[in-house]
Amino acid sequence: MHKQYCSLSGLSDPYVVIQLLPQHVFPGEEEQQTKIKKKTLNPSFDETFEFSISPTQCQTDGATILFTVMDHDMLFSNDFAGEAYFPLNNIPGIENSPAFGQLREVALPLIRPHASETGSLPVLEARQSWDKEAAEFVKKRRTIEEKADSN
C-alpha cells in the first residue's frame, strides 16, 4: 500500500471487501470482507471466501469480482485505499481458461479512480432517469471518487 493511505503512525489497518458484479447477475450474493490487518503497509490476506454461483453466471459479459481495499479507522470513517477487478471468465475451467486444477496466483493492480468527465461514466449518468442499474453504479462510483479525492 502507498503511504498516502496510512495514518499518522505511517502504517495502515487495511481490509478488503469482496463483491460480485454486476449485482443483477448475482442476486442474493452478499459482499464479504477480510479481517483487518493492523499496522501494515504490506498486508497478506490468506483467507478463503465462497460464493454460490454457477459457471453460466461467471461466463456472463462483465461478470467480475471487485476487491475494494479500505483502511480501517477507529475514530472516523474508513478510508478508501483502492480497488482491483478480476473478470470471472479468467477463472480456470470457465470458458477457454486452462483446467480448474491449474490455478495460479494472480497479481492485480490496485487502482484509485478519480473524477473524470470522459469515459463511460457521463454516458451512464445520462441514463440514470430510466436505468436503475446505471443510477446505482454512478452513485457508488461518485462516492468512491469523492473519498479518493479527499484523501
Q: Residue 21's beta-bridge partner residues? A: 64
Cis-peptide, bond into residue 87, ω within 30° of zero: no
The 10s digit of each residue's pLDDT in 36-94 is 999 888 898 989 999 999 888 988 888 999 999 999 887 777 888 888 999 888 777 66
Taking the C-alpha atoms of residue 34 and residue 69, their distance in angstroms, rounded to an integer, is: 10
Q: What is the pLDDT of residue 100?
A: 55
Q: Residue 86's beta-bridge partner residues? A: 65
Taking the C-alpha atoms of residue 33 and residue 101, their distance in angstroms, rounded to an integer, is: 26
Q: What is the pLDDT of residue 3?
A: 46
Q: Residue 88's beta-bridge partner residues? A: none
The 10s digit of each residue's pLDDT in 95-150 is 555 555 566 788 888 887 665 555 667 777 777 888 888 888 888 887 777 766 66
